[in-house]
């Protein structure tokens, strides 16, 4: 393997701040244009900008940036600034996914604040507008999510990348968008069909989260740097396993996390009818132990919007007692270890990037929010 040591570069040490800056600058320009053209829509765009800039881990641009750096991309200078703008556009794809996902799941909170559709429904009621407040909120969320996706493309293509760089990154960019939407569809399909299999749960985790959270951002960054195929394949293997482990951790936090930390009510996945791997394992273990009554408690909780805190606590206790939590925790550890092994085998151009990616992997899979 190549063994070079990178010096600290201007962007590397404060990457989230640089991503925030790039997003704020882009959104300010786009908002000003919309506010001049259609002032009433400009206020709606302000809500989208607040949502994008109001929190988030910035994981997607971070993985993309370190894919770029690991494959030999520069840490500073005009080309690095263009890459920074390009990978920051991933946060707008994320905004689209979250706004639409919250609507599809009828979620009331995101990052401790009302979700976009809830915010706009409340605005409708407060101002006494005509029609149904909920339909207005849903319409606003659909349109603002679509706008975020359109602006993601605009920000990416307008980042100032050299044509060969942009052409090399086009395939992972296109694949990532399609996979994100496919994952969203699989998520609602599994809920609609009631598929309780672990295979279905993992398929959703792979398509809905792993692909556009870790795997494709790494692919995008490496492609921007002109990485050879073995490097791309190695980073994607690492990213797939970390991305799935990230989603499994998210499932555990959705059931057991502290609402004050996660920003979402505990048990929301149950109320939304999510067939997560955690629930799949719980049902399988209940069947294996001939505990039909416990399986019925788990099944009846899925999709029950009237679940009380006591109901959620009963489901939690069963998942622990059945060993489902321990099994999913073990799967997270296995995936993380396998991913770190894959990362170690990748012939990166910059050893500092290997260390950062390894740390990111651990942070993503052992987080508390």
> For residue range 5-29, what is the model confidence (pLDDT) as tens digits?
333 447 998 999 999 999 999 999 9
Q: What is the mean pLDDT of residues 137-150?
A: 98
Arithmetic mean of pLDDT, 259-283? 86
Tokens of 216: 């494709």
pLDDT of residue 32: 92
pLDDT value of residue 2: 40
Q: Are 215 and 240 in contact (CB under 8 A)?
A: yes
d(CA 114, CA 263): 10
Confidence class for position 4, pLDDT limits 50, 70, 90? very low
For the segment 72-103, what is each residue's pLDDT rounded down to a tens digit? 999 999 999 999 999 999 999 999 999 999 99
Task: Please tell me the predicted confidence (pLDDT) of residue 266.
Answer: 76
Nearest by Cα to 173 from 229, 211, 225: 211
The overall average pLDDT reported for the chain is: 93
Portion of the chain with pLDDT greater than 90, in percent = 85
Query: Between residues 170 and 260, which one has the greater pLDDT?
Result: 170
Of the candidates 252, 321, 248, the one whose C-alpha atom is nearest the C-alpha of residue 282 is 321
pLDDT on residue 1: 41
> What kind of fold does domain 12-365 have according to CATH?
Farnesyl Diphosphate Synthase (1.10.600)
What tens digit of pLDDT does each residue of 40-54 get? 898 899 999 999 999
pLDDT at 157 over 50: yes
Give pLDDT tens digits for 204-215: 999 989 999 999
**How many other CB atoms sit within 10 Å of the CB of residue 202?**
18
- pLDDT confidence tier of residue 56, bands split at 50, 70 and 90: confident
pLDDT average, residue stretch 42-69 = 94
Q: What is the pTM of this model?
A: 0.93
Residue 319 has what pLDDT? 97
pLDDT score at 267: 82
Give the domain ranges of the chain. 12-365
- Residue 258's pLDDT band, with cuts at 50, 70 and 90, is confident
């Amino acid at each position: 393997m190549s063994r070079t040591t990178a010096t600290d570069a201007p962007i590397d040490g404060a990457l989230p701040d640089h991503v925030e800056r790039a997003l704020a600058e882009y959104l300010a320009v786009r908002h000003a244009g919309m506010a001049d053209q259609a002032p009433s829509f400009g206020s709606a765009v302000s809500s989208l900008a607040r949502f994008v800039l109001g929190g988030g881990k910035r994981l997607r641009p971070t993985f993309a940036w370190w894919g770029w750096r690991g494959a030999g991309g520069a840490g500073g200078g005009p080309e690095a600034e263009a890459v920074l703008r390009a990978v920051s556009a991933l946060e707008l794809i994320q905004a689209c996914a979250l706004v639409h996902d919250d609507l599809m799941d009828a979620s009331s909170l995101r990052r401790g604040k009302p979700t976009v559709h809830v915010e706009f429904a409340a605005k409708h009621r407060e101002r006494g507008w005509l029609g149904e407040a909920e339909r207005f909120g849903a319409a606003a969320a659909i349109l603002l999510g679509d706008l975020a996706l359109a602006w993601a493309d605009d920000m990416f293509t307008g980042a100032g990348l050299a044509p060969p760089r942009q052409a090399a990154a086009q395939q992972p960019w296109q694949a990532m968008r399609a996979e994100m939407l496919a994952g969203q569809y699989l998520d609602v399909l599994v809920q609609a069909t009631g598929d309780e299999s672990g295979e279905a749960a993992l398929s959703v985790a792979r398509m809905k989260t792993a692909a556009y959270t870790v795997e494709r951002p790494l692919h995008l960054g490496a492609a921007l740097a002109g990485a050879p195929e073995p490097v791309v394949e190695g980073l994607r293997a690492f990213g797939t396993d970390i991305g799935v482990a990230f989603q499994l951790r998210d499932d555990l936090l959705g059931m057991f996390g502290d609402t004050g930390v996660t920003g979402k009510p505990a048990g929301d996945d149950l109320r939304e009818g999510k067939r997560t791997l955690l629930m799949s394992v719980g049902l399988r273990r209940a069947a294996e132990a001939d505990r039909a009554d416990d399986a019925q408690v788990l099944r009846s909780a899925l999709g029950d919007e009237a679940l009380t805190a006591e109901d959620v606590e009963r489901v939690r206790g069963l998942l622990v007692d059945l060993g489902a939590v321990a099994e999913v925790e073990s799967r997270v550890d296995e995936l993380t270890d396998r991913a770190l092994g894959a990362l170690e085998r990748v012939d990166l151009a910059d050893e500092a990037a290997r260390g950062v990616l390894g740390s990111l992997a651990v942070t993503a899979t052992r987080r508390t929010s």
